[in-house]
Amino acid sequence: MDSIKLNIAEAIAKVLEKETDEVFAAIETPKDSKMGDFAYPCFKLASVFKKAPVMIANNIKEKLGDVEGVSKVEVVAGYLNFFADNTVVVETTVKNILNKKDACYNLEEGVGKTICIDYSSPNIAKPFHIGHLRSTVIGSALVKIYKALGYNVVGINHLGDFGTQFGYVIEGYKRFGQNIDLTEEPIKKLVEIYVKINEMAKEDEAIVEKARENFARLEAGDEEIVALWSKFRELSLEEYKRIYDILGITFDSYNGEAFYNDKMGEVVDMLRDSGKLVPSEGAQVVELETEKVPCMILKTNGSTTYATRDLAAILYRARTYDYTKCLYLTGYEQNLHFKQIFETAKYIVDEKYVPGLVHVPFGMVLGPGGKKLSTRKGASTTIKDVIDEAIEKAKQVLEAKGKTGEEAEKIAKAVGIGAVIFNDLKNNRIKDEIFDLDEMLKFEGETGPYVQYTYVRTNSIINKAGYEPTEADVKAELLTAQEEIELIKLLALAPNMLKQAANENEPSVITRYIIDVASAFSKYYNECQIIVEDEALRKARLALVKATGYVLKNGLNMLGIEAPEKM
């Protein structure tokens, strides 16, 4: 469909003596297909030509001539509406998908460019709780989306592995952790140590001082303290990687906050040399042009801040990766922090790197009914527990449908994990997510299992027919039913959905799209018999079924969800 849109843009640009790119960007997609496949609004031209938009639209239409791939042009209320030639759409769309197969979304606009995506980032020595789920799955989806666009993507897990809390963990371990076996459930035991030492610290100020001393020694590189910290970090990372393996997620870098401990001095020097580091109530800050709150670089005691470490990370990433973009996946409550460091970054890196710094915020995870999920005082809901429960519930649903055995176990894993991820990515990321396993595991409605089942149905039809369709089977003159045309025009949007998802850093664009594809396919399946007597028609419809399967499968994969072959 993009080729037809480009033809329309070139034709209009020629008439108006404008740049094709400008016209192309202005062309819209009508919400009602009865109004055409593309629409060019003429309202902004009214002040230029001193005419009514309808008159301008009619004048353009008269001068357009034939546009390749367009069957009809209409003027409606100041819009030029274009109807695509269904023959062209059918031929190009279905054949293109069958040709590209698992790359049916892929484009090459990111080739030669690098994008860093900073996501997940749990705090070591703490459970990988459900609060980190959103950053993890949204970030993972964006990694796949940008890779499909041809970018070189660097996935970064900026671990929370530095701070005063580690002084407490170390102090607790030194006092009563020597006899604790950390080879099993290490994070759970480290949390118990942390909770216990914090309770003791409330009654004993000396423990607070010891914890601060431990952290100061960690910052200074004390051999004993660093060895303990490294042990806790390694044990935590092993636990986290088990979860990442279940989710099918890998990272290119696990450089966390501690990695930048010896790199912050340069940042402070650069800001001081630029004349932007100024004293403020005993601290050292950078005054900002766009924010009332300055960016604090050094506290009153001379120690660094989160901002200092994040600025050191920006400097390192610019030098190491030469990024075009660098995305940060965190909750929306960190908006101010990122505004501060992004504005401050212009004083330490080349100006070309600053526009590419992007905060990608998201909402909270809420329980059924919109209740906030508690993660305090031992009430933490870990991702591992959630995944295990989702798989078990999916298994129960499958057993109710008569599915048992090893294959059912495998399907339950794909469905359970897929349901959790799909639910997170279903709506705009800035919205809070309602986490209700019973709802997300339903096989109808806007759920992961529904889309997975629809993909399985496409496979089942192909297998039942006993024939693997090819591009040669696509006959536009045979695929003329309304449900077929609607489905094909929807399939044609796959690359556009990929671009939109990347432009908005919004995986839900893909999620909503494959829900629409699954719904359109179900309508097609119910209204049009596929395995018919007529061989040519049967093969043409099987080709459409196969193309739909590719779009659903690759859409799911783009989100980090497995598309099972059977259910």
Query: What are the pLDDT digits (tens) for 217-228?
Result: 998 889 999 999
Residue-level pLDDT at 375: 39
- Copy the structure tokens of residue 214: 């431990």
Domain, as residue range, for 206: 163-255
What own/partner pairs with CB < 8 Å and gap ≥ 24 does 392-397 have?
A: 392/416, 393/437, 393/438, 393/441, 394/419, 394/441, 394/449, 397/441, 397/443, 397/449
In this prediction, the residues of the chain whose per-residue pLDDT falls under 70 are 369-380
Residue 168 in any domain: the answer is yes
- d(CA 372, CA 261) in angstroms, rounded, equals 35
Residue 183 in any domain: the answer is yes
Where would I find the H helices in 426-563?
Answer: 437-440, 448-465, 482-491, 494-504, 508-527, 535-558
- d(CA 296, CA 452) in angstroms, rounded, equals 48
Which of 255, 290, 307 terminates a domain? The answer is 255
Contact 12, 80 (CB under 8 A): yes
Q: How far is the first Cα of the chain from the last one, in angstroms, to the nearest whole number?
A: 33
> Which residue in 135, 143, 137, 157 sits closest to 115, CA to CA?
143
Total domain count for the chain? 2
* 3-state SS, one letter per residue, for 170-224: HHHHHHHCCCCCCCCCHHHHHHHHHHHHHHHHCCCHHHHHHHHHHHHHHHHCCHH
Contact 298, 282 (CB under 8 A): no
Residue 421 in any domain: the answer is no
- Copy the structure tokens of residue 179: 């006899």
- Copy the structure tokens of residue 410: 């495998």
Return the amino acid letter for 446: E
> Which residue in 462, 475, 481, 455 sits closest to 542, CA to CA?
462
Residue-level pLDDT at 371: 65
Residue 78 in any domain: the answer is yes
Which pTM does this prediction carry? 0.90
- d(CA 514, CA 553) in angstroms, rounded, equals 9
- Copy the structure tokens of residue 487: 């489905």
Torsion of CA 125, 130, 135, 141, to 10 degrees: 120
Residue 416 in any domain: the answer is no
- d(CA 156, CA 196) in angstroms, rounded, equals 32
Return the amino acid letter for 74: E
Q: Which residue has the tokens 């801040």?
A: 305
Residue 319 in any domain: the answer is no
The DSSP secondary-structure symbol of 445 reads S
Which of 226, 255, 284 terminates a domain? The answer is 255
- Copy the structure tokens of residue 263: 């790199």
Contact 357, 404 (CB under 8 A): no
Q: Which secondary-structure segment (H or E) carries 116?
A: strand 114-118
List % helix, strand, coil for the chain (3-state, nearest 5): 60, 10, 30
Residue 179 in any domain: the answer is yes
Contact 138, 348 (CB under 8 A): no
- d(CA 343, CA 366) in angstroms, rounded, equals 32
Which of 49, 69, 84 terminates a domain? The answer is 84
CATH number, domain at 80?
Answer: 3.30.1360.70
> Which residue in 528, 545, 533, 532 sits closest to 480, CA to CA?
528
Tell me the torsion sign for CA atoms 305, 307, 313, 315. negative
Residue 126 in any domain: the answer is no
Contacts of 556 (CB under 8 A, 6+ apart): 418, 448, 451, 452, 455, 514, 562, 563
Q: Which residue has the tokens 């849109």?
A: 5
